Structure 1
Amino acid sequence: MTEASLQFLGVDPNDEETYRLLLRRGRFSQAELVHHLAGDAQDGNASQDPQVTHRRLTKLGLATETPGGLLAPISPAKAVEGLVETKVGWLRHQLEEEATSCGIVDSLLAEHEKSLDGGARTPDINGTTQHIEGMPLVRAAIDELTFFARTESLTTSPTGVLSQESISHARLLDSRILRRKVHMRTLMASPALDDPTTISYLRELTAKGAHVRISYEPLERLIICDRAAALTPIDPAHTSKGAILTRDLGLVAALVSLFERMWQMAHDLPPSDNAEATEAVLANSFQRQILRSLYAAEKDEIGARELGIAVRTYRKHVASIMQRLGASNRFQAALLARERGWI
């Protein structure tokens, strides 16, 4: 029976032979690796540079360098798993590139448009600005934008809370974006910190390479891909009505500037979901200003004016702080905050 080989996973036979020898011996010093490769050359195999072989084995995930400078093998199961993931990622990238270049998505969208009633149409990727009515078509537009994204994805969530259903749908899109190493930034409203389902998913995203920030200021709903296309709701108060998709570079640039301003005012996601980390995010400089105003300002209007924000926004912050502190009134909230060292 022919011996199983790693060639189908993209491993050169010489590298596989060195890896198998590593598994038998346990580890190689630099001198032993040089000696092994020199022996291969004497047996008629092509001469190999030890340093190049060393780097190649570590890059393939077949070996690792110990603190003492020795070359040690990765366990077979872990090594093969890593090779499979790399191969699958490469194949997926190739297939996505092929799907993009051949225009299959456009072709299928054209077929779908023929069945739509009432004149509603899916977005034409060659257009500049389109109105997209109804959530099914909005989701189709989001699917399309994320499919073609190659460099950057910017999104916001004004509510801050994600349902399990929306997470299930988002996970497919977000994973596809992050697999391609697209730079992903997501802004979430502060209620995200109070929702275990949402915060768990946000930590999942950051573990995969996404950047997430929490905003205590009102957010505009935006999805921007590659700074070339942007999606905004037709009616921010009723997002189910539909969305506006624009590829006008001037409009997109303005929306990117809006996103950057909101991003700068936001705060990093807590490093863990323990209470201390959550409190650390809550007790930021702006929140402390709100707390101090509870002592000094007689009316909400005065506190809001001093901070340069709308009264509605001021009251929203106060209510959020009271809920987190378990305070029954504003004065008690200020006292509890002082006890915790927030002010």
Structure 2
Amino acid sequence: MSQPRLELLGITGDEEALYRRLLRQSVGDDHDQVAGTTDRTGTTDGTAARTADRLVELGLATRNRTGVLRPVAPARAVEHLIDNRLDALREELDDAVRTSGVVESLQQERRTAPARRPPGEAHVIQQIEGMDAVRAVIDELTFFARSESLTTNPTGIISRESADFSRPVDLRVLRRGVRMRTLMAAPALDDRATLTYLHELAGKGAEIRISHQPLERMIICDRSAALTPLDRAHTAKGALLIREPGLVATLVALFDRMWAMAQELPTPDDEPPTEIERRILRSLYTADKDESGARDLGISVRTYRKHVASLMARLRATNRFQAALLAQERGWL
């Protein structure tokens, strides 16, 4: 029976051969650094190094601080490959839809009501009522964005529901090469779920800053259309869709001033651990099993393991004991 291949997930033969070779090697073997070696398949040193770089890019391997290549666990590696293929397919479909004009055609079906304004007068300001209608407008604006997307979040918190709605929209915009700038209020720094989502976007190319000054809520696309809330205190009521060039330019200038006063989003490595994370790091010295560590902290094993995985990723540690040592070196303990 032939061995299953990874070609269907977009992997070349050399890339798969190197990944399988890394999996076969001992976990403690440090001679798996590819640069400077020749693959058993006969590839040259330079080719092997490029293949190794490609594995890291695809999420199939990682490098430690000394440059040693380590394989990512097979289940996680395949998950990365699937995500990569889905992203490529989504981008291909987005491009096909944009060039076909199908969305414009469907929108035209809604424009059958007779115009109430004199011929030639555009709808420069529209009132959009209800969150469902507002989200539909956001989806439409971002779909057609070509150069820039500006967004503010005065609360600084992105709920799970909001993240689930925003993720496909945001990633679609970033895949098209649209410049995305997002301003978050300071509470974002204290909310782990929000920071995780922001770092996900930043990793895809978004520019994100944290403001310690009050923010005005707005979304601006291509400096030609803007959304602002009908009621600042009750944003669920709806929004104003503004296309009047002078008003949009004023909002862009306001955004730029708020942007200039904000600070860069801290990288994951710069973020100090929360109190529960500090306790978990200490438990890595003392607890011999996850179950005992979770029991000592009064949390579930699943939650404990989730925190440990997050901390190891932030510290770039290959095992839990190393994570504890690196945390101590950073002054986290």
Q: How far does residue 5 in structure 1 lie from its aligned partner after superposition?
A: 0.5
Letter in structure 2 aligned against 1:54: A
What does residue range 192-341 of structure 1 map to in structure 2 within 5 Å? 192=187, 199-208=191-200, 209=202, 210=206, 211-217=208-214, 219-233=215-229, 240=237, 242-246=239-243, 248=245, 251-267=247-263, 271=271, 274=274
Instruction: Tell me whether 1:143 sits opposite 2:148 in the alignment.
Output: no
- Find 1:88's aligned residue among 78, 86, 89: 86
Task: Please say if residues 220 and 226 of structure 2, whose CA atoms lie closer than 8 Å, have aligned partners that are also in contact.
Answer: yes
Aligned to 1:33: 38
Instruction: Tell me whether 1:99 sits opposite 2:109 in the alignment.
Output: no
Aligned to 1:299: none
Instruction: Tell me whether 1:187 sits opposite 2:183 in the alignment.
Output: yes
Q: 1:159 to 1:33 in 2, by over 3 A?
A: closer
From the CA coordinates, give the structure whose radius of gyration is larger: 1
- Provide, for residues 93-126 of structure 1, a one-character-per-residue CA deviation record: whole Å limited to 9, x for no partner: 1112222221222222233445x8x979xxxxxx
Task: Please say if residues 153 and 184 of structure 2, whose CA atoms lie closer than 8 Å, have aligned partners that are also in contact.
Answer: yes
Aligned to 1:8: 8
Q: How far does residue 224 in structure 1 lie from its aligned partner after superposition?
A: 1.2
- Stretches of structure 1 lacking an aligned partner (at least 5 in a row): 39-47, 121-126, 276-343
Q: How far does residue 69 in structure 1 lie from its aligned partner after superposition?
A: 5.4
- Find 1:169's aligned residue among 142, 165, 170: 165
Task: Please say if residues 155 and 222 of structure 1, whose CA atoms lie closer than 8 Å, have aligned partners that are also in contact.
Answer: yes
* CA RMSD, Structure 1 to Structure 2 (Å): 4.0
Aligned to 1:17: 17
Q: Normalised by the size of structure 2, how large is the TM-score?
A: 0.59
Other structure's SS at 1:206 match = helix
- Stretches of structure 2 lacking an aligned partner (at least 5 in a row): 27-31, 117-121, 276-333
Task: Please say if residues 22 and 28 of structure 1, whose CA atoms lie closer than 8 Å, have aligned partners that are also in contact.
Answer: no
Aligned to 2:283: none
Count matched residues: 252
Identical amino acids, percent of aligned pairs = 40
Q: 1:5 to 1:186 in 2, by over 3 A?
A: same
Instruction: Provide the C-alpha distance between the structure 2 equivalents of 1:216 and 1:30, rounded to a whole number of angstroms.
Output: 48
Q: 1:272 to 1:154 in 2, by over 3 A?
A: farther
Letter in structure 1 aligned against 2:199: A
Instruction: Tell me whether 1:110 sits opposite 2:112 in the alignment.
Output: no
Task: Please say if residues 156 and 186 of structure 1, whose CA atoms lie closer than 8 Å, have aligned partners that are also in contact.
Answer: yes
Q: 1:204 to 1:69 in 2, by over 3 A?
A: closer
Instruction: Tell me whether 1:134 sits opposite 2:126 in the alignment.
Output: no
Q: How far does residue 259 in structure 1 lie from its aligned partner after superposition?
A: 0.4
Letter in structure 2 aligned against 1:154: L
Task: Please say if residues 61 and 69 of structure 2, whose CA atoms lie closer than 8 Å, have aligned partners that are also in contact.
Answer: yes
Instruction: Provide the C-alpha distance between the structure 2 equivalents of 1:129 and 1:99, rounded to a whole number of angstroms.
Output: 26
Instruction: Provide the C-alpha distance between the structure 1 equivalents of 2:273 and 2:22, rounded to a whole number of angstroms.
Output: 41
- Shifted more, 67-76 versus 11-20: the winner is 67-76
Task: Please say if residues 19 and 55 of structure 2, whose CA atoms lie closer than 8 Å, have aligned partners that are also in contact.
Answer: no
- Provide, for residues 147-190 of structure 1, a one-character-per-residue CA deviation record: whole Å limited to 9, x for no partner: 23355321124466666655553455345445666543333456
Task: Please say if residues 23 and 73 of structure 1, whose CA atoms lie closer than 8 Å, have aligned partners that are also in contact.
Answer: yes
Instruction: Provide the C-alpha distance between the structure 1 equivalents of 2:99 and 2:135, rounded to a whole number of angstroms.
Output: 22
Q: 1:268 to 1:202 in 2, by over 3 A?
A: farther
Q: How far does residue 66 in structure 1 lie from its aligned partner after superposition?
A: 5.7
Q: Normalised by the size of structure 1, how large is the TM-score?
A: 0.58
Instruction: Provide the C-alpha distance between the structure 2 equivalents of 1:81 and 1:138, rounded to a whole number of angstroms.
Output: 33
Other structure's SS at 1:33 match = coil
Q: How far does residue 21 in structure 1 lie from its aligned partner after superposition?
A: 3.5
Instruction: Provide the C-alpha distance between the structure 1 equivalents of 2:157 and 2:35, rounded to a whole number of angstroms.
Output: 54
Instruction: Provide the C-alpha distance between the structure 1 equivalents of 2:51 and 2:141, rounded to a whole number of angstroms.
Output: 36
Aligned to 1:50: 45
Instruction: Provide the C-alpha distance between the structure 2 equivalents of 1:207 and 1:3, rounded to a whole number of angstroms.
Output: 37
